[in-house]
Structure 1
Amino acid sequence: MDQGGFQIVSFPAVAHRCSDTTTLVNRSIVARKPIIIVTFNYRLNIFGFGDGTEKNLALKDQRLAIEWVVKHIAGFGGDKVFRPALDKITLGGESAGAVYAHTHLSTGAPVARGILQSGSLYLSPPQPLEKGTSVISSLSANLLAKHHVSLSEAPVSLLLQQLKDDNINPLWIQQEPDLLRWQERLGDIQDLLIGDVEYEAAIWRNGLEAVVATDIAAAFGSDELRRLYGVSPSRPTASKLGALDFINDARFALPVEEIAAARRKAGKTTYQYVFDQVNPWQSSSRAHHAVDLIFLFGSYDLSGNPAAAAVAKAMQERWIAFVSGEGPWDAEKRFAFGPHGKSAEITDEEFAARRRVGHFGVLREIGMSRLGEIFGKLAAGRISLLN
């Protein structure tokens, strides 16, 4: 039997119904392709960031969990792993989880396959050590000055309050030697499944509502980019919509294309998808960020929405096939989930009708570094799950 460990990292805890893996595992058993899903905890916020002497503790927690699976999964009914990079463990994540998963895949994690849903290191690239050192120094100084306590001695409640008071949100990955030139490091995995949803930028919609059009236009920097996305100081609504489209393209859709192209050039098998099925309960919300988790895990009853149920079935079948070492579709083609309940391979022309492919050339010329700066000006501190 094909068995393996499939790790998914997402904002909802695995105890949350949205991330309940029971249905997906049961479907794999019925399909005679049983999989074992392993989830794990790791340190968050400043506790996962480090105190300056140690860095990226969240990543280290995750790597320890992966290595534990390699060593012990056979004891839970999985395959004995003799050659980790060539065997059956799949590492996957969505959004921030995909950022972490991409990091591990780029730094030699002992896994066979990877899944990146709606995220990559392009969404949150490793930041210079000096930035982390500055944050820790500022936090330490304020704790000492205001509360007469050191960073290591501060109780958790006080530490979290000081982070809030200082408006510090240390969620980024800090640069380390094995993360240098990560864009060129494809890792040892042979197979990757990667894609995005149609409206990734939904989580910045509320935050951008408060930004005036003149500030959005200034953030874009160039007339060419402003024209491309319909941004103008005199058009507030169009500018906000253009900013959301830019975020969608620069931090989600284009990175999928870049990663897939680089892997194919290196002879690595890559399965690329787009997810365009709308929210099953509120179609006006579109195929927003993280809606694919509802379909993947199948923990909600979608029988009253035949189109949604059909997409959920198609997605689950293909994720199970991939984790089992099979090809979920023709790797030379992209696969589309939705809209209207349809799931099928699509042509390049059909893909171009779903994503702003015509914009990608201009974005590539600007460069990922500059795109990241623009993204920061538009999006920093404005993320919201209340959309």
Structure 2
Amino acid sequence: MAVVVGHSGSSAVVHTDLGDLRGTTEGGVGVWRGIPYAEQPVGDRRFLAPAPAQRWTGLRDALEHGPLPPQTKSFVGGGRDDPKVRDEACLTLTVWSPDTSASLPVMVWIPGGAFVYGAGQFQLYNGSRLAANGNVVVVNVTYRIGVFGGFELSDLGDGFDDNLALRDQIAALQWIRDHIAAFGGDPGRVTVFGESAGATSVLALLASPAASGLFSRAIAQSPPLPLIGDRETRARQAHDFLKRLGVEPSEVKALPQRQLRRAAGMVQLKSASNTPHLAYGLTYGVDLLPRHPVDAARGGAVERMPLIIGTNSHEASMFAWTKPPMLPTTTASIGAYLDRVAPDAKDQILAAYPDYPRRRALVAFGSDAMFGAPAWAFADAYSALAPTHMYRFDHVGWSLRALGLGATHGSEIVHIQHSYASFIGRKLHPLGRRLQPPVGRRMQRAWLDFAAKGWDTGDERSREECQTGEIEWSNGHDWPIYDTDRRMTRIIMTARDTVTEDPDAERRKAWAGLH
């Protein structure tokens, strides 16, 4: 049996089948950082599927974070306490546990970042509050991104495996299955949750045969499913990448990081003209991911388990500031997008945005194209197979309100993690460290209740009351099932939550059949 030694600031030792690990305790919670869950993908292992981690002898320190995956700077990891070192040897985990002698539910966080940015080590994703408040074991996963993990090169032949980001996540889940009991976690009660590209990964894991049996509950926060492309598109992008490098496939592994990242970035920019199939992302049509998650759900070819899925009300507002070509938020980019994706349904879709082309409608269109419409499509299909709970996050703190951004992409994370002390947390809720906002207390409790219980029904009396309109909800287990008869959706607001039937019906109907 594993034992945590000491108190706050003291060492914490666990004994795993791979060897002994020494972490520390912070605020009564044990934390182990920089744990390798696979052999590092360097040298000959570059662009290959992860290999199992090897045993070590003696007591191994797990006190410091491992390096971030190679990436440029982003505001998500812009705090003083966020790691700065970047390296391809990045396959590590962070584990928080309040009691290593127990058998607690496990929550596995898969960070987002469009498969270009992100890492589990960022303070925004600090899992200590979840672990302490919910009596759960929290595991943050760092996986390969960018050209080394989020860029498909398998069509180049031997030496290049497909879907490396997803393969890393599966390797981490296998490590959790085999070793989390040493940290006080129950491998039979694992909830996978993630945001943005992390949420896309969650839905891909549901559709991947290789991930079967590795988790039993899932939460997908704002999944941009258009980041999953077909194999044929990825093959063309891989050969464009090779042409830009001007080398043979056998020479790619030895090229310097900067050269590889530059060529992949150029392919990404070019792919923006073919949105939504960007160059960075996952690939379906291969053994690891045979079908797109929406098609897999429609065909019943997914793991069946309780699911929370949802989006934020103003997902694209932050992107509309910078007008990236990857997300349609201008009249020109929206017109080009519809000409490519749905030329015959152009008028039908735009009619669902009566304020078009005002900014509000541009933001709503971009939000639906990348996030809302794919989430509605997946929820419609998956809800026929397993208990599904839909939400829309509407809470806007005063700082986002002052900027005119609304409930923008990713703004729910600090409330679930209670990471108000992080760089982003201080910007969004400056007083959050002293006075946690009610929306944060409600959201974290709902996520924790779901991970612990996996509730699959709501209160029947309350469901009847919903027929007359909006009602107020207090606890996660009161969250009604989503189905295509009523599409009951939890609207998460500042002071209270309500449940509404099909709250974005006109926009959802306009996109039906296009994802």
TM-score normalised by the shorter chain: which range applies? 0.7 to 0.9
Q: Does 1:77 align with 2:232?
A: no
The 5 Å alignment of 1:200-349 reads 200-208=315-323, 213=331, 216-217=334-335, 219-220=337-338, 221=343, 222-230=346-354, 238=358, 241-266=360-385, 268-283=386-401, 284-300=404-420, 304=431, 309-327=437-455, 328-330=476-478, 331-332=480-481, 333-338=488-493, 340-343=494-497, 345-348=498-501
Which secondary structure state, in structure 1, belongs to the residue aligned with residue 252 of structure 2? coil
- Name the CA distance, whole Å, in 2 between partners of 1:97 and 1:311: 22
What letter corresponds to residue 170 of structure 2 in structure 1?
R
Change over 3 Å in CA distance of 1:161–1:265 after alignment to 2? closer
Change over 3 Å in CA distance of 1:282–1:55 after alignment to 2? same
- Name the CA distance, whole Å, in 1 between partners of 2:360 and 2:411: 20
Which secondary structure state, in structure 2, belongs to the residue aligned with residue 278 of structure 1? coil
Q: How far off its partner does 1:201 sit? A: 1.4
Q: How far off its partner does 1:197 sit? A: 1.0
Corresponding residue for 1:172?
A: 281
> What is the aligned residue count?
340
- Name the CA distance, whole Å, in 1 between partners of 2:360 and 2:436: 27
Change over 3 Å in CA distance of 1:173–1:308 after alignment to 2? same
- Name the CA distance, whole Å, in 2 between partners of 1:241 and 1:51: 39
| Post-superposition CA distance 1:217-255 (Å, at most 9, x none) | 4543433333332487xxxx52x5433212323443333
The 5 Å alignment of 1:5-24 reads 5-10=106-111, 11=113, 12-24=118-130
Corresponding residue for 2:201?
A: 100
Moved more, 100-109 or 257-266: 257-266
- Name the CA distance, whole Å, in 1 between partners of 2:330 and 2:381: 38
Q: How far off its partner does 1:114 sit? A: 0.4
Is the 1:198–1:288 contact (alpha carbons within 8 Å) kept by the matching residues of 2?
Answer: yes
Query: In percent, how many aligned pairs have the same letter?
Result: 22
| Post-superposition CA distance 1:351-375 (Å, at most 9, x none) | 52xxx312322321xx225xxxxxx
Corresponding residue for 2:306?
A: 191
Corresponding residue for 1:157?
A: 258
Change over 3 Å in CA distance of 1:186–1:249 after alignment to 2? farther
Corresponding residue for 1:132?
A: 234
Q: How far off its partner does 1:148 sit? A: 12
More helix by share: 1
Q: Does 1:57 align with 2:164?
A: yes
Moved more, 89-98 or 184-193: 184-193
Is the 2:309–2:375 contact (alpha carbons within 8 Å) kept by the matching residues of 1?
Answer: yes
- Name the CA distance, whole Å, in 2 between partners of 1:307 and 1:335: 24
Which secondary structure state, in structure 1, belongs to the residue aligned with residue 453 of structure 2? coil
* TM-score, normalisation: structure 2: 0.60
What letter corresponds to residue 133 of structure 2 in structure 1?
R
Change over 3 Å in CA distance of 1:307–1:262 after alignment to 2? farther
Structure 1, unaligned runs of 5 or more: 29-33, 82-86, 370-387
- Name the CA distance, whole Å, in 1 between partners of 2:337 and 2:380: 29
Corresponding residue for 2:52?
A: none
Moved more, 329-338 or 97-106: 329-338
- Name the CA distance, whole Å, in 1 between partners of 2:191 and 2:347: 44
Q: How far off its partner does 1:9 sit? A: 1.9
Is the 2:194–2:219 contact (alpha carbons within 8 Å) kept by the matching residues of 1?
Answer: yes
Is the 1:279–1:285 contact (alpha carbons within 8 Å) kept by the matching residues of 2?
Answer: no
What letter corresponds to residue 442 of structure 2 in structure 1?
A
Q: How far off its partner does 1:39 sit? A: 1.3
Corresponding residue for 2:246?
A: 144
More strand by share: 2
Corresponding residue for 1:182?
A: 296
Corresponding residue for 1:358?
A: 506
- Name the CA distance, whole Å, in 2 between partners of 1:8 and 1:197: 19
Corresponding residue for 1:375?
A: none
Corresponding residue for 1:384?
A: none
- Name the CA distance, whole Å, in 1 between partners of 2:363 and 2:315: 9
- Name the CA distance, whole Å, in 2 between partners of 1:214 and 1:247: 12
Change over 3 Å in CA distance of 1:72–1:307 after alignment to 2? closer
* TM-score, normalisation: structure 1: 0.78
Change over 3 Å in CA distance of 1:149–1:3 after alignment to 2? closer
Moved more, 60-69 or 297-306: 297-306
Change over 3 Å in CA distance of 1:14–1:218 after alignment to 2? closer
RMSD: 3.0
Structure 1 runs of 4+ aligned residues shifted over 6 Å read: 209-212, 305-308
Which secondary structure state, in structure 2, belongs to the residue aligned with residue 322 of structure 1? helix
Structure 2, unaligned runs of 5 or more: 1-101, 271-277, 422-428, 456-475, 482-487
Is the 2:221–2:309 contact (alpha carbons within 8 Å) kept by the matching residues of 1?
Answer: yes
- Name the CA distance, whole Å, in 2 between partners of 1:74 and 1:18: 26
| Post-superposition CA distance 1:175-214 (Å, at most 9, x none) | 2144224242462332111111111112430244898645
- Name the CA distance, whole Å, in 1 between partners of 2:373 and 2:202: 18
What letter corresponds to residue 334 of structure 1 in structure 2?
T
